[in-house]
A = this chain, B = another copy of it.
Amino acid sequence: MTETLMATGSKSEQAYAAVKARIVDGTYSPGYRLVLAAIAKDLGVSVVPVREAIRRLEAEGLVTFERNVGATVSGIDPTEYLYTMQTLSIVEGAATALSAPLIGPADIARARAVNEDMRECLQHFDPVRFTALNQDFHSILFERCPNPHILDLVHRGWNRLASLRSSTFRFVPGRAHESVDEHEALLRLIEAGAGADTIERAARRHRAATLDAYLAQSNAGSLNAR
């Protein structure tokens, strides 16, 4: 690949972006063994920048690292999925509540448009597209969160979720309908200037409900104790 663009900056950054992209798009599927030398050769750099990239990905939880053994793409161990979703329900709920007062009519309109696309998408259901739109929708709602730390946590959560192949809704297609309706309800709450607590709770339950749907289908009990 000679598509080198200066814009990316350092080799570490390039390596980070490249590996992350391949994890997210599924080129490196969960369990894939990330060999430093191989990646370095593939990217046309030495192993040192690749090491740094891997470490960063480790910090984000996208890969797991074992000393003297190497890195592998983090699995979608159902337990991991559960933990990630639960964590996301909490931080995303908070982020949405914090950003609600800063959401203007234009944002609402955009979000509603996306949600309409989702509703339309229900006809000939495409889980991948639906999941992508779902992320767009929620991004509009939490992106104005004034606390950058919380926002960062939300982004990390979504990233981990994205490293699941294709789509969340592939596993729980039945949730799609309810999800769209809950989105609209959430929008109305924000429009009406509902309290932070109300919005947080609604956002959290929305995500927790998806998790519960997944769990119910897999087998076990529920974490959604609220």
Contacts and interface: CB of A to CB of B under 8 A. Distances in A.
Interface string A48-88: 10011001100111000001000000000000000110110
The 10 closest A-B pairs by CB, nearest first: A59-B59, A87-B149, A90-B94, A83-B149, A83-B147, A196-B225, A87-B150, A86-B147, A55-B55, A197-B226
Contact of A61 (B91, B149, B197): B149
A148 interface: yes
Interface of A: 9-10, 48, 51-52, 55-56, 59-61, 67, 83-84, 86-87, 90-91, 94, 147-150, 153, 196-197, 225-226
A56 B60 CA distance: 10
This chain's copy number in the assembly: 2
B87 A153 contact: yes
A86 B9 CA distance: 33
Contacts of A197: 226
Nearest to A53: B55
10 contacts: A55-B55, A55-B56, A56-B59, A59-B59, A83-B149, A86-B147, A86-B149, A87-B147, A90-B91, A91-B91
Q: Which of A67, A90, A150, A197 has the most CB of B within 10 A?
A: A90
Contacts of A67: 9-10
